[in-house]
Amino acid sequence: MHDATPQWRVDLDAQLSLHAHEPVSRFVQVATIRRDGRPANRTMTFRLFLSGHRLLFTADAHTEKIAELEKCPWAEICWYFPEARWQARILGTMHVAHSEDEELEQARRLTWHERTEESRQSFTWPRAGEPLSPLPAFRHPTPMRPPENFSLLVLTPDRVETLDLSCHPHVRELHTCQNGDWTSGRINP
């Protein structure tokens, strides 16, 4: 069963292709644990799926979320498709990719290339979250290649809960992973 595509991935791929024309369908909310133990939550853009159903995101290495994930690697993504009334909650560990194989090198090139000029330039900005720097500090030229602080963040999913609110009663499924094998079952909505 190791090679079978888990049901949540089949369902999520269907939602993504249904909403392929809407960039907002790739925006998800990512919950992490702050360094003081309180929860944090922010919107991030899902980039692509890597092998093993891992999810790729990118981030500035200097941001607080990277420090949070270094202390506690657990994250839960909430992915809601309002028209379909379909939600996926994806719990797993999220790590910065430090060594890169061919798949990650390719992902780095692709995710840098597909960004807007503005998004690329933002990687030259002063450290996020600190007191506001003077405006000229935000006017560096856009780098041609991914700078040092352009990080790939990889989420390895462990537990996925899907909820379809378009049915009555709602359909809720729990998908769990053990040694790479996914099992799925319906639970009470």
Binding residues for a second copy, per CB under 8 A?
Answer: 24, 27, 29-33, 37-43, 74-78, 80, 82, 87, 89, 91, 118, 122, 125-133, 135, 138, 168-170, 172, 185-189
Cis peptide before 126 (omega within 30 of 0): no
Beta carbon of residue 105, minimum distance to a second copy (angstroms, whole number)? 29
Q: Least distance (Å) from a second copy to the CB of residue 53?
A: 18
State in angstroms the smallest separation of the CB of 63 from a second copy: 10
Could you give the C-alpha distances from 18 to 12, 14, 39, 140, 153, in angstroms and in order? 10, 6, 32, 39, 25
Tokens of 2: 């190791």
Q: What is the DSSP letter of 132?
A: P
User: Is 35 or 170 the residue whose CB approaches a second copy more closely?
Assistant: 170
CB closer to a second copy out of 98 and 168 = 168
Q: Compare residues 52 and 185 and give the one whose CB is closer to a second copy.
A: 185
124, two tokens? 């030259």
Do the beta carbons of residue 163 and residue 188 sit within 8 Å?
A: no
